[in-house]
Amino acid sequence: MSERRRRLRLPWRSSARISADIDDELTFHVEMRARELMATGMSEGEARREAVREFGDLDYTRRYCASLDRRGDALLRRTQWLEDLGVDLRHAWRTMARAPGFLAVVLLTLALGIGANTAVFTVVDRVLVASLPYREPDRVVRIYGTDVPDGIQEGQVAAGDYVDYRRRQRTFQDLAAFTWADYTYVGPDRPEGMTGLGVTANFFDVLGTRALLGSTFVTGDDSLIPAAVVVLSHSAWKRIFGGDPGIVGRRIIMSDYPRTVVGVMPAGFISPLREADFWMPRSLAPLLDDANRARKFRNLGMIGRLAPQRTVAAGSADLAAIARDLEQRYPESNTGIGVVAVPIRASFAGPVRAPLLVLMGAAGLVLLIACANVGGMLVARGLARRHEFAVRAALGAGRGRLARQVLAESMALALAGGLLGVALAVRLTQALVALARPALPAMGPVAVDGRALAFACGITAITGLVLGLIPVRGGGRLASRQALHEESRGLTGGPARSRLRATLVVAQMATAVVLVIGAGLLARSLSRLRAVDLGFRPEHVLTFRVELRGTKYDSAAQVIALYEALHERLRALPGVVAVGSTGAIPTEGGARSALDIYGRDVPPGQLPAVGYNSVSDDYFRALGIPLREGRSFEEQDNEKATPAVILSEGAARHFWPGGGAVGARVRLGPDPSQPWAVVVGVVGDVRQDGAAGDVLPTAYVSARQDTWAGRTVVARTYDDPVAVASAARRELRAIDPNVPITELRTMTTVVDESLAGRRLPLWLMSAFALLALVLAAIGVYGVMAYAVTMRASELGVRAALGAQRRDLFVLVLSQGMRTALIALVIGLGAAVAFARSLSSLLFGVAPLDLTTFLAAAAILVACAMAATLIPAQRAMRVDPAATLRGA
């Protein structure tokens, strides 16, 4: 009986099976009892009835037993499964621990792959996906003014137009406007420059964000002059006011005017246009009342909240129709002026969207390589363990059980790699954000969060699954009798597995080619950008920004006086060659203006646009912009004199092709009541919009004749410009201790930062490409070394038959090269598609740049060759005698 019991021990049963078993068991009992009763003389029917009666509650017993058995079985199933898994994992750990080097390489590879992806995802998610801190953010749009004649696509709108848009639109809940506002807060220690936004009172209602402390603005009639109040950003509240919990209600002096703090926004709140320290209500009345500015001075940014069920396209079309009507009505100011609405997220992500997506793709490729690499190593190990599997199968382990063991191993590997990867990603994200900061939108802190962790878990699980499936699939028959045979014949691994490994290596190398080409194209773009002549000499120049605000600087004369004094003092510093100042330094963009030329009679709406900048006398000398003709600005160009204009070479050539620009009479700006100015000189072209921008024909005016209170000072020095930085601070403080210095940098740093957005993808892509190359080289080495070991006897025989050592070397090398060439063909093909997707990031380089492609091919071949050399040398040293003896 004991033997029967062993045989019939069931692992677990289905629910129906359990019920059937119980019915069988109980029926058996009742029937046996009935038979016994019949033996005492009862009839069959009587006996059966009596047996059932005696039994008691049959139905309840049936249900009771079934529920007990089901629970027991489920438990059994779970414990059995967990026990098996535990065994598998212990087994995995034991085998791995025996090869710590292998384990370390695998974990490092996986950690790099998963870490890089998680870090890039963290940034991508934050910038492109994560929800914005607004109520129903999908309904919030950013509205840009467009200016067809000037080629402006993401510009501002004029106050008069804003009022029309707001009143006449039918698709928005409301529109709000905002503009730059810069103030100086004079705190107990030192003056603090604050950058913020002047906004219409309904600004926060349109965004739908509440204050963390206090409140935002009370909305009401916009025509009322807004109260002197201000809402602070979380970071300004912490930074400038030390997180004072009693800040709400406090009066602070901002550029001489008292303002009451009414609220503090929550951390992570971001607003369009710029990273703001504060928001204050701004009345549009002064703009609307000035006929020359109401529709011509386009300085307002616009946002809107769409009405429910309205699309961005519908909102955009609605506003565009109003814009067309305004063109008809005010041709002088509005010809060519349009408007376009985009989802607010797009306005934040705009320029970094393409590079981020490319990087996400590149990171994906790295993970692919990591998987292929680790997969290859696992296959190689699987070969070594073939015997083990065969033995286990022979001992009765099922195919599923073996597959699960492989899967448990790969999952454990992926999990450990994933954990390391997340730790790595935390660091990588910091580095990435630090690197990308100048190019990223103002989004507040970016760190690995729950979503990034979920992503990491996801890719870890996929990685584990892929890693587990590679050997299972490639192995085909994990455990066959054939394996035992092969093992006993001293052969390890069938041709299927070698082919699989070779395929994986080809995949790795092909992917590496793609990444190397990507990095190469970006590197060439950046070097082209660096080689672009910006039109000035950035070396040895110190620059800093000065903003004059408050009652002391209400008049142009006061502003001019301060800058003259500052220039004077800086010039007197030892080591300083020349000092100038400007409204906007090159690479940081600048203003535009219409250019009217005396005697040409161009209608006002069709005047050409030129770059416009207000500069001091010595500005051109300080930046090293060459004077081509005429003279620079001089003391005589003061507010009483005839306005003087200096044109860029491009402007002079474009508008006076036959020469004769100097002495011509021109007028800048749309106001026909302005007096005509005289062109006094021509200077070299400057790339005001940075290396990638166009050279815009530009008109310069004297700082004495168009005085801007906020200016950037440039000081050329003999040596290191940083050496005079503290002296510059001291001199400004001596003139007015309440004026802050901001953005103190060297001009080379300014140029560098203007390329930051370009450098980020290049650095990352290069790092990925390098990683890919190293992994691919390891893969090639592994396969070739294995092939040499496999073919040792064949090589030995060849040597014995008289093959030269050189021949053996070439034999192995050519095999390695064949793999590399296949990979190269596939990789170059894939790179064509990849390079096209990069095109928006390229400058001065075609996506299918031959040099880059050839260089990448050479790098890959060299890499494969280097990885093949050692195995090839080993092939040379095969001892024919040993082979013959062994055979």
Binding residues for other proteins, rule: CB under 8 A, are 1, 4-5, 8-9, 21, 24-26, 28-33, 54-58, 60-61, 64-65, 68-69, 71-72
Please give the full DSSP string across 181-200, using - where no structure is assigned: EEEEEE-SSSEEEEEEEEE-
Q: CB 63 → other proteins: shortest distance, Å?
A: 10
Q: CB 80 → other proteins: shortest distance, Å?
A: 14
Q: CB 9 → other proteins: shortest distance, Å?
A: 7
CA distances from 714 to 492, 542, 545, 599, 750 (A): 73, 6, 9, 37, 12
For residue 223, which amino acid is it?
S
Using the minimum distance from each CB to other proteins, give the nearer residue, 24 or 325.
Answer: 24
The Cα–Cα gap between 709 and 859 comes to: 55
Q: CB 76 → other proteins: shortest distance, Å?
A: 10
Please give the full DSSP string across 218-269, using - where no structure is assigned: PP--TTSPPPSEEEE-HHHHHHHHTT-TT-TT-EEEETTEEEEEEEEPPTT-
Give the list of residues 6+ apart from residue 366 with CB closer than 8 angstroms, or none: 112, 113, 116, 117, 515, 768, 771, 772
Using the minimum distance from each CB to other proteins, give the nearer residue, 25 or 568.
Answer: 25
Q: CB 72 → other proteins: shortest distance, Å?
A: 5
Q: Say if CB 375 and CB 468 are below 8 A apart.
A: no
Q: CB 511 → other proteins: shortest distance, Å?
A: 55
Using the minimum distance from each CB to other proteins, give the nearer residue, 56 or 658.
Answer: 56
Using the minimum distance from each CB to other proteins, give the nearer residue, 52 or 104.
Answer: 52
Distance of CA 442 to the CA centre of its chain: 13
Q: Say if CB 284 and CB 141 are below 8 A apart.
A: no
| H or E element, residue 497 | helix 495-531
Considering only CA atoms, which of 692, 153, 25, 117 is closest in space to residue 459?
117
For residue 766, which amino acid is it?
S
Using the minimum distance from each CB to other proteins, give the nearer residue, 10 or 850.
Answer: 10
The Cα–Cα gap between 342 and 344 comes to: 6
Question: Bridge-partner residues for 298, per DSSP?
Answer: 158
Question: Bridge-partner residues for 254, per DSSP?
Answer: 185, 257
Q: Say if CB 117 and CB 424 are below 8 A apart.
A: no
For residue 303, which amino acid is it?
I
Q: CB 5 → other proteins: shortest distance, Å?
A: 4
Using the minimum distance from each CB to other proteins, give the nearer residue, 24 or 554.
Answer: 24
Using the minimum distance from each CB to other proteins, give the nearer residue, 24 or 289.
Answer: 24
Using the minimum distance from each CB to other proteins, give the nearer residue, 5 or 98.
Answer: 5
Q: CB 42 → other proteins: shortest distance, Å?
A: 14
| H or E element, residue 139 | none
The Cα–Cα gap between 821 and 277 comes to: 57
Q: CB 268 → other proteins: shortest distance, Å?
A: 55
Strands 257-264 vs 251-254: parallel, antiparallel or unpaired: antiparallel
Q: CB 11 → other proteins: shortest distance, Å?
A: 13
Using the minimum distance from each CB to other proteins, give the nearer residue, 26 or 830.
Answer: 26
Q: CB 778 → other proteins: shortest distance, Å?
A: 52
CA torsion sign, 629 to 630 to 635 to 637? Answer: negative
Q: Phi, psi at residue 221, to the nearest 5°?
A: -75, 120
Using the minimum distance from each CB to other proteins, give the nearer residue, 33 or 91.
Answer: 33
Using the minimum distance from each CB to other proteins, give the nearer residue, 25 or 289.
Answer: 25
